[in-house]
Chains A and B, each alone.
Chain A
Amino acid sequence: MTGEWMRTARLYVRLLGAQLRAAAQYKADFLVMIFAAVLSQGVGLIFLAALFARVPHLDGWSFWLVALMYAMVTVAEGIGSLLFEGTWRLAAMVNSGELDYLLVRPYPVALQLMSSAVGFNGLGNLVLGTAMIVVALCYAPLQWSPLQGLILVLLAGSAVVVKLAMNLATNAASFWLQGRNPVVAYAMHQVGELARYPLGIYPVGLRVVLTTVVPFAFTSYYPVSYLADGVDATIGLLTPAVAVACVFIAIWVFRRGLRRYESAGS
């Protein structure tokens, strides 16, 4: 059993490595993408700083805690681009019938898909996001203990998993839509951006949606809420459970979708 898991993980790295090798042929791309990522994340940060120059709190949250939420989404996106960028190719692959060969290889289709591309912009996001988290943790008014540190790691990891699972599930909509572009996933990705700010600033209906239907609030707001002992601290503790549920749902949706796959005429 563990042997099988090891093989799966090793091959994932292998497939991703192949993409890395392939992408290394385009060095200019590499630098431009990292630069673009840092720029777009930086713009958001500048906005955040400008906002807090005017108001001391956002729905009761101080600058460093909001920065922490913001950075968690940045890191999750960075990991998504760097290690799971292939997810975004599903629409094109379903549309053109390129999934054919993946289906005849002895390795899970979803993992072959996710490892089929590397997004170097992720590196920019990851570095910038991590730096922001470190700085924010230093300045934010948090109580620290070893246990708290452990929980932080667990919650942060779960938050990333929620984001990745949502990516997979929303991209799997392409099995039904069959268009060339992942329109649903793009739209949901934009919805996910809302999670960069405290949930309380949104109307109650939207809060419910972001907690249940598309639980992006678990990618940042709820975990930070737990750490800062905010209003929704207990819900924050549920993040790992939500992550597990999201993974199961994503796999289920993907499998259902795969059964609809019809290849292409030629």
Chain B
Amino acid sequence: MSSASEPVIRAAGLTKVFRSPDKAPGLSGSLRHLVRPRHTNRAAVNSVDLTIGRGEAVAYVGANGAGKSTTVKLLAGILIPSSGTVRVAGVDPHRDRLVNARQIGVLFGQRSQLWWDLTVRDSLEVLRDLYGVSRTQFTERLDEFDEVLGLGKLLPVVARRLSLGQRMRADLAATFLHGPAIVYLDEPTIGLDIAAKDSVRMFLRQRVAAGTTILMTSHDLRDIEDVCRRLIIIDDGRIIFDGDLGRAKDAYARQRQLSVQVDAPVDLAALRAGLPEAQVEQGASTRELVVVFDRFAHRATEVLDALTRQVDVVDFRLQEPQIEDVVRRVYRGELLVLPPQGVDA
């Protein structure tokens, strides 16, 4: 985990409470609220502890409304915590806003940071001036970004004429333009097609390889597998998992699935007796079998052997555990506690 590198982001007991008005519906409700306002407090982020090391790529995952964006805004210094502390590269992001701003980059996939009526180039030039990036560095970075993001074609286009995918690529360039050491990405692939997602992922992988610390939220778990090594899952404002992505799979996504086509109907009972730890089910037809097994209890070859002893296997397909399965089970509330993390993980 982060033990190898010094921490750059450190949050302790981070909490953000939003106060929302309780209004009965309709005009009378609004009037009553004016006379005697009532509010409900709700913790969108609840006692979150986070330590992220320099150069780490962290995926921040959770269901809608879990508190991901709110956490990002707290870390970026946009919101002030209701309680708890944040330090990012040695500064309090809200109190030392200007210092913090120079070392971070932020992208909200839902909202563009480009000037609506300016060309992409003009927007980037304004940002260049704001951050004091030298002209040579500016050109170098744009050239570098161009390879993956295909910026060249976008530069002369006015932001309001960009498609969503084009807009996101231009926004990514804007986020990384000043070479920030730490970058927060809130749903950087939202609404993109497969090709656009691929280029965003490749771009982010490159940035991570170049040493940028990244914290990224996404509902597309492919993004996470492609870019991140560490997974943090938040649910209802609380962190319920924090650990290595591979380890999460080992711990929670142990079930492999073997789909087999056979040339003759099989005796399920006998098969089940031979594979006591596995689940053996009939597939869509009598010629199909589905075997679900724990990859630590059985090896795939073992399962195949047991099958071939009975029938001729025509074809088979092995499905590896997916990170989706882990997250889905977490969302369903099936995995609430994580097993203790090894010290030297």
Contact = CB atoms under 8 A, between A and B. Distances in A.
Interface in A212-263: 259, 261-263
A263 B100 CA distance: 18
Interface stretch (B77-85, B195-203, B216-224, B317-325): B77-85
Contacts of B115: 18-19, 22
Contacts of A106: 98, 101-102, 130-131
B126 interface: yes
Contacts of B100: 104
A104 B118 contact: no
A181 B80 CA distance: 24
Interface stretch (A65-73, A95-103, A141-149): A95-103
B111 interface: yes
A25 interface: yes
A14 B100 CA distance: 22
A266 interface: yes
Interface string A24-47: 010000000000000000000000
Contacts of A21: 117-118, 122
A103 B78 contact: yes
6 contacts: A14-B126, A22-B117, A101-B111, A103-B101, A106-B131, A263-B78
A18 B118 CA distance: 8
A contact face: mostly helix, strand, loop, or mixed: loop
A11 interface: yes
B73 A263 contact: yes
A104 B77 contact: yes
Interface string B79-110: 11000000000000000011011101010101
A23 B158 CA distance: 12
Interface in A88-138: 97-101, 103-107
A98 B130 contact: no
B79 A266 contact: no
Interface residues of B, number: 30
B238 to A, nearest CB: 19
A15 interface: yes
B334 interface: no
Interface residues of A, number: 24
Given A15-B130, A100-B106, A104-B76, 5 more contacts: A21-B122, A103-B101, A104-B104, A106-B98, A106-B101
Interface of B: 18, 69, 73, 76-80, 97-98, 100-102, 104, 106, 108, 110-111, 113, 115-118, 122-123, 126, 129-131, 158
A21 B121 CA distance: 13
A182 to B, nearest CB: 20
Nearest to A24: B117
B97 A103 contact: yes
Contacts of A262: 18, 79
Nearest to B106: A104
B72 to A, nearest CB: 10
A22 B118 contact: yes
Contact of B130 (A22, A97, A100, A107): A107
B131 A14 contact: no
Nearest to A266: B110
A60 to B, nearest CB: 45
Contacts of A19: 115
Contacts of A98: 111
Contacts of B101: 103-106
A251 to B, nearest CB: 14
Given A104-B101, A106-B101, A107-B130, A263 B79 contact: yes
List 10 A-B pairs, minimum CB-CB distance, nearest first: A22-B117, A106-B101, A101-B113, A104-B106, A103-B78, A18-B126, A106-B102, A106-B98, A14-B129, A100-B78
